[in-house]
Amino acid sequence: MHTAQKITKVFITRRIPQEGLKILSQAGVCKVSLWDSDEPVPRAELLKGVAGAHGLLCLLSDKIDTEVLDAADMYYTVISTLSVGFDHMAMDEIKKRGVRVGYTPDVLTDATAELTVALLLATARRLPEGVVEVINGGWSTWKPLWLCGYGLSGSTVGVIGLGRIGMAIARRLKPFGVKKLLYSGRTAKSNAAEVEGEYVPLDTLVSESDFVVVSCALTPDTQGLCNKDFFCKMKNTAVFINTSRGAVVNQEDLYQALSSGQIACAGLDVTTPEPLPTDHPLLTLKNCVVLPHIGSATYSTRGIMAELSANNLLAGLQGTDMPSELKF
């Protein structure tokens, strides 16, 4: 008697680099269905796509909640996210259902740290303002008091969340002549000695730093961490940089701090929502530099992320060890 062969189905929520797709097609173990667009999959299509799928490859912009998990019925074995951050997924619910999760730590650390340094320098030295002045004719002559900013040499830098990326940022900033490197988080880090990092309470970090860099994960504890109280403790000459997640910052409070001169300037690679509406008050401020969440955006990093997330997905489908499994 002929028995119907079970087809393993996976759904990918966006067009991803070819490197990842190639791995999945060459493996020949699953039928891939792809939302073949650079734009996010509409919710209804996501729910349709996951129905009956055994695996899901998603992005940080996809909300993976109970509704999505329910829509996948009983088949789900693995979710692979093309990101290191996992705050877009209902982890408690995922755990309850015994679904394995793959993610992309380490491979994007260098690119994100590099972008953070670029954003810090661009913000502190007012590069976007300078570029605009050159284009619009505001550059009349060399002026001793024009477009001055803040330098890293001799400064105190505070890193909130000295994890993989926080540490990579610290390593890159130290050679600029940073005098003191403070960090805060839930635990002191044994590798902090490499950057002469000093573990301090958050309040100390906020009030003593010339540059405050946020590189922690978004969790219930860090949500809204950078609020009015936080900005009030910062120096008036301090620079605030966030490349973690937008929701770590209370943006109304940040706007007040920037517009009132409570802090000097801010550079954000991440916002709430994303994209930030073009009429958002933060975009009216010269002392706020906003980037469109491009921390890991180098060609090679995105290719490697795609490979890793494809390999995580395959391992999840086959019940083998994942190259990067999230343990939770």
Name 31's bridge partners.
Answer: 9
- Note the helical H segments in the chain: 18-27, 43-50, 66-71, 91-96, 109-124, 127-136, 164-173, 202-208, 228-233, 251-259, 299-318
Tell the smallest beta-carbon distance from residue 112 to ligand DGY (Å). 7
Instruction: Calculate the CA 66 to chain-centre distance.
Output: 23
Q: Among 49, 55, 161, 197, indicate the residue that binds ligand NDP (CB under 6 A).
A: 161
Among the options 54, 88, 280, 293, which is catalytic? 293
DSSP 226: B
Q: Which of the choices ligand NDP, ligand DGY, none does residue 262 contact, using the CB cut-off of 5 to 8 A by kind? A: none
Q: Among 2, 6, 143, 186, indicate the residue that binds ligand NDP (CB under 6 A).
A: 186
* Closer by beta carbon to ligand DGY, 104 or else 262: 104
Q: Is residue 166 close enough to count as binding ligand NDP by CB under 6 A?
A: yes
Tell the smallest beta-carbon distance from residue 95 to ligand DGY (Å). 19
Dist CA 276 CA 271 (whole Å): 6
**57, containing H or E segment:** strand 55-58
- Number of other CB atoms surrounding residue 169 within 10 Å: 27
Q: Among 69, 72, 160, 265, indicate the residue that binds ligand NDP (CB under 6 A).
A: 160
What secondary structure does DSSP assign to 151-207, as a single string?
A: --TT-EEEEE--SHHHHHHHHHHGGGT-SEEEEESSS--GGGGGGTEEE--HHHHHH
* Closer by beta carbon to ligand NDP, 72 or else 291: 291
Q: Is residue 293 close enough to count as binding ligand NDP by CB under 6 A?
A: yes
* Closer by beta carbon to ligand DGY, 185 or else 264: 185
Q: Which of the choices ligand NDP, ligand DGY, none does residue 162 contact, using the CB cut-off of 5 to 8 A by kind? A: ligand NDP
Tell the smallest beta-carbon distance from residue 254 to ligand NDP (Å). 16
Name 183's bridge partners.
Answer: 159, 199
* Closer by beta carbon to ligand NDP, 151 or else 292: 292
Which residues here bind ligand DGY, judged by CB under 6 A? 60, 83-85, 108, 295-296
Tell the smallest beta-carbon distance from residue 123 to ligand NDP (Å). 14
81-120 footprint of ligand NDP as x/- string (CB under 6 A)? ---xx-------------------x--x---x--------
Tell the smallest beta-carbon distance from residue 141 to ligand DGY (Å). 42
- Which amino acid, one-letter code, is at 10? V
Q: Is residue 246 close enough to count as binding ligand NDP by CB under 6 A?
A: no
* Closer by beta carbon to ligand DGY, 83 or else 215: 83
Dist CA 211 CA 159 (whole Å): 8
Tally: H helices and E strands in the chain: 11, 12
Query: Residue 293 catalytic?
Result: yes
297-326 footprint of ligand NDP as x/- string (CB under 6 A)? ------------------------------
Q: Among 81, 155, 209, 243, indicate the residue that binds ligand NDP (CB under 6 A).
A: 243
Name 295's bridge partners.
Answer: none
- Number of other CB atoms surrounding residue 184 within 10 Å: 21
Q: Which of 209, 93, 195, 204 is nearest to 158 (CA)?
A: 209
Name 228's bridge partners.
Answer: none
Interface with ligand NDP (CB under 6 A): 84-85, 105, 108, 112, 160-166, 184-187, 215-219, 221-222, 243-245, 269-270, 293, 295-296
Q: Which residues are catalytic?
A: 293
